[in-house]
């Protein structure tokens, strides 16, 4: 457990800090960002963990979502990991595609060579990262989880599989049914192998059906109806149907005219933070 500050900025009276540490889980050096609200100067605060989408690092959400304003007023920390293992020794997609390999860890524990050497983002998010920030920073163990696109998939899957660890989960434009879309099929076949039964533990729609709606934390999802990825990759209707079939009262909204960008996230992040605050604070 050792981490060092590589950058720090003041924002909205709090501290936006970028850390570097050697991850045992991922077997490489990782960077992540944390926003500590002003309240963290005198007490431990709860945290929203934010999982970013394809091609992102911890910097996209930090600089573009405008989340610090509301987090500062509510007294909630933001913990923002990278989206895959990193570094020279970490295998990337041989073709350099944006949707697999570096920047595209899909929040799974890879079982297939060579990916299994580093790609354990599931364990990193569930175990190593919270243990680290709760030990080293004024952050308590009340956790909420959110994310965008691939990170929305990660937030739903991790929150559904670990409902005792998160008081609520939310997502923007999530890949809700990755076993049934090209992004998921490509990533899962490489990371997890060709047995599709093994993929279901990382698919929010499959998990909702497996759980039959039991022990599901409060869920909030926003999806732009002008999102180019909606029909082929995101398939929000499949999540709506799974919630309905399993009597899960999730708040899933289509937002008219919004696309897949951070402009969409910035517009609705306040509502998500206030949703999580109901149970975090």
Contact flag: residue 10 with a second copy (CB under 8 A): yes
Q: Find residue 255's DSSP bridge partners.
A: 224
Q: At what angle do helices 67-74 and 262-280 cross, to 10 degrees?
A: 10
| Contact between residue 270 and residue 235 where contact means Cβ atoms under 8 Å apart | no
260 is catalytic: yes
Binding residue count for a second copy, defined by CB under 8 A: 22
Q: Between 60 and 236, whose beta carbon lies closer to a second copy? A: 60
| Contact between residue 74 and residue 67 where contact means Cβ atoms under 8 Å apart | no
CB of 122 to a second copy, least distance (A): 30
Q: Between 116 and 228, whose beta carbon lies closer to a second copy? A: 228
Q: Which of 33, 84, 146, 149 is catalytic?
A: 149
Beta strand extents in the chain (DSSP E only): 3-11, 14-23, 28-36, 45-51, 77-81, 139-147, 169-172, 219-224, 251-255
CB of 138 to a second copy, least distance (A): 18
Closest C-alpha among 250, 255, 225 to residue 239: 250
Q: Which two three-digit tokens encode residue 171?
A: 């997502």
170 is catalytic: no
Binding segment for a second copy among 104-112, 132-140, 156-164, 262-270 (CB under 8 A)? 262-270
Of residues 16 through 55, those in contact with a second copy by CB under 8 A are 16
Cα 103 to Cα 157: distance, rounded to the nearest angstrom: 18
Contact flag: residue 5 with a second copy (CB under 8 A): no
Closest C-alpha among 121, 119, 141, 133 to residue 2: 133
CB of 16 to a second copy, least distance (A): 6
Binding segment for a second copy among 62-70, 110-118, 160-168, 244-252 (CB under 8 A)? 62-70
Q: Which of 120, 260, 272, 276 is catalytic?
A: 260
Cα 149 to Cα 118: distance, rounded to the nearest angstrom: 22
Contacts of 189 (CB under 8 A, 6+ apart): none
Residue from 38, 66, 138, 193 in contact with a second copy (CB under 8 A): 66
Contact flag: residue 228 with a second copy (CB under 8 A): no
CB of 256 to a second copy, least distance (A): 8
CB of 63 to a second copy, least distance (A): 5
Binning the chain into helix, strand and coil, the percentages to the nearest 5 are 40, 25, 35
Residue from 32, 100, 262, 275 in contact with a second copy (CB under 8 A): 262
Contact flag: residue 94 with a second copy (CB under 8 A): no
- Which residues are tagged catalytic? 149, 227, 260
């Amino acid at each position: 457990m050792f981490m060092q500050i590589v950058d720090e900025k003041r924002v909205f009276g709090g501290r936006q800090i970028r850390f570097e540490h050697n991850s045992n889980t991922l077997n490489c050096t990782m960077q992540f960002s944390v926003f500590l609200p002003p309240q963290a100067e005198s007490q431990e605060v709860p945290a929203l963990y934010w999982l970013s989408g394809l091609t992102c690092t911890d910097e996209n959400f930090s600089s573009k979502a405008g989340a610090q304003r509301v987090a500062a007023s509510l007294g909630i920390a933001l913990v923002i990991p990278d989206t895959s293992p990193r570094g020279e020794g970490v295998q990337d997609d041989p073709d350099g595609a944006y949707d697999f390999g570096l920047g595209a860890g899909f929040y799974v524990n890879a079982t297939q060579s060579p990916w299994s050497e580093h790609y354990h983002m599931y364990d990193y998010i569930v175990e190593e990262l919270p243990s680290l920030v709760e030990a080293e920073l004024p952050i308590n163990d009340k956790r909420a989880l959110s994310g965008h696109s691939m990170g929305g998939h990660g937030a739903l899957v991790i929150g559904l599989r670990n409902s005792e660890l998160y008081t609520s989960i939310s997502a923007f434009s999530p890949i809700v049914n990755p076993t049934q879309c090209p992004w998921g099929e490509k990533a899962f076949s490489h990371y997890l192998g060709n047995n599709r039964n093994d993929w279901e533990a990382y698919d929010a729609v499959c998990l909702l059906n497996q759980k039959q709606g039991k022990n599901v934390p409060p869920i909030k999802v926003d999806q732009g109806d002008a999102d180019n990825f909606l029909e082929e990759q995101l398939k929000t209707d499949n999540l709506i149907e799974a919630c309905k079939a399993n009597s899960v009262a999730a708040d899933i909204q289509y937002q008219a005219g919004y696309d897949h960008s951070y402009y969409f996230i910035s517009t609705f992040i306040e509502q998500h933070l206030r949703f999580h605050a109901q149970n975090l604070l």
